[in-house]
């Protein structure tokens, strides 16, 4: 029986492993995390994250071939394939602060894998990581390897919160990047065989390691860019009397452009877009490409501009003062069908209105 272990029981690890367990009844799947409260929640009736359809999938498999545990070492040492789905936030201090990804959690996961492994393993990058992370991970694993062989694969997730289960059931593509060596290709095939239980073969794309790592950042940058583009147009629409919904609809009917991600809004939020673009900017700067870095920075700048423009419009509509006025915010999460409030534009809107009142942040 193939055994899979996933380190990290968050928005990526939990749903992804639940669907693998559902679609591959012959594979034993363990999701491990050092957070006792999080694992307890996964084992309860009240899951730690909200995602339509997730409850049903977990309850069907939990206790059969899907297990949630805090015994990280046991499950990692027994696994044939180890997914790493830990958080990679933006660094807040040190070199690259404000842009580079903080790989602290990734590094400690790699050290655990190196320390407890007694057999060869395939290690899969599932979190969004900077290009060339695999190289650093390989160094950690092989340095402590005691003769055990590790193959690193990049298998970025392309889940959208609110539709994650549907995205997993019916993905546009599954991307697997590996070393272009016989051992690397064998590892790619092993992971491909897992997804092939339910994903059509022509949707499982294989690339080299660095292409897979970069494709995730590129996809999020392109999506965020579309939102910033339509938001930039919304400012012009308001200035000229055009209706941004009508303009977006007209633009979206062009088959080369398509209608998705063209809804003007207060700006994009969530845990991925800003973090990934800042990471992309940092990688461009480190590789001596300042013009490319500037280009992607602009996507963030327009997003920040849109949020402050929105607050200014709200305040202006109330005779330039919000003192003693009540403002209701309908929906605080960063988008519908999720309970996630990370980087939600609602926070900036609150902050902007609160500072107008001289209250600091609400």
Binding site per annotation, positions for NAD(+): 8-13, 33, 38, 86-90, 127-128, 161, 272-275, 342
Is 352:308 a contact under the CB 8 Å cutoff? Answer: yes
Question: Which three-class secondary structure state does DSSP give residue 124?
Answer: strand
Q: Please, are residues 7 and 33 in contact by the beta-carbon 8 Å criterion? A: yes
Residues in the chain: 362
**Measured distance CA(166)–CA(111) in Å, rounded:** 34
Q: Which residues contact 201 (CB under 8 A, 6 or more apart)?
A: none
Edge-to-edge strands of the sheet including 28-32? 66-69, 28-32, 3-7, 81-84, 121-125, 150-154, 174-178, 204-208
In whole angstroms, give the CA distance from residue 227 to residue 216.
Answer: 17
Q: Is 272 a catalytic residue?
A: yes
What is the full DSSP assignment across 304-344?
HHHHHHHHHHHHHHTTT--TT-----S--SSSTT----TT-
Residue 164: its H or E element: helix 164-169
What residues pair up with 3 in beta bridges, in sequence order? 28
Residue 332 CB neighbour total at 10 angstroms: 13
Which entry of 24, 272, 284, 286 is annotated as an active-site residue? 272
Beta-bridged to residue 177, according to DSSP, are 154, 207
Catalytic residue numbers? 272
């Amino acid at each position: 029986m193939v055994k899979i272990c996933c380190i990290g029981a968050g928005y990526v690890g939990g749903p992804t492993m639940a669907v693998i367990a559902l679609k591959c009844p012959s594979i034993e799947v363990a999701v491990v995390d050092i957070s006792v409260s999080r694992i307890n929640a996964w084992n309860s009736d009240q899951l730690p994250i909200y995602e339509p359809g997730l409850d049903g999938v977990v309850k069907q498999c939990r206790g059969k071939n899907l297990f949630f545990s805090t015994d990280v070492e046991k499950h990692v040492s027994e696994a044939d394939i180890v997914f790493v789905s830990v958080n990679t936030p933006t660094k807040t201090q040190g070199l690259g602060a404000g842009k580079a990804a903080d790989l602290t959690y990734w590094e400690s996961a790699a050290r655990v894998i190196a320390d407890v492994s007694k057999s060869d393993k395939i290690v899969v990058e599932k979190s969004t990581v900077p290009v060339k992370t695999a190289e650093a991970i390989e160094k950690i694993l092989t340095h402590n390897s005691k003769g055990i062989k590790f193959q690193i694969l990049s298998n970025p997730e392309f889940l959208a919160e609110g539709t994650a289960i549907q995205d997993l059931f019916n993905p546009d593509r599954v991307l697997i990047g590996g070393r272009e060596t016989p051992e690397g290709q064998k590892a790619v095939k092993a992971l491909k065989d897992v997804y092939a239980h339910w994903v059509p073969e022509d949707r499982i794309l294989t690339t080299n390691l660095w292409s897979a790592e970069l494709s995730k950042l590129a996809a999020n940058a392109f999506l965020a860019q579309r939102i910033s583009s339509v938001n930039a147009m919304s400012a012009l629409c308001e200035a000229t009397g055009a209706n941004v919904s009508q303009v977006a609809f007209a633009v979206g009917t062009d088959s080369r452009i398509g209608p998705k991600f063209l809804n003007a809004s207060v700006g994009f939020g969530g845990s991925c877009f800003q973090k990934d673009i800042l990471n992309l900017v940092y990688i461009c700067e480190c590789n001596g490409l300042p013009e490319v870095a500037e280009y992607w920075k602009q996507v963030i700048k327009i997003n920040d501009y849109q949020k402050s423009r929105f607050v200014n419009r709200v305040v202006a509509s109330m005779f330039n003062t919000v003192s003693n006025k009540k403002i209701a915010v309908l929906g605080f999460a960063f988008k519908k069908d999720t309970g996630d409030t990370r980087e939600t534009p609602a926070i900036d809107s609150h902050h902007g209105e609160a500072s107008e009142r001289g209250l600091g942040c609400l």
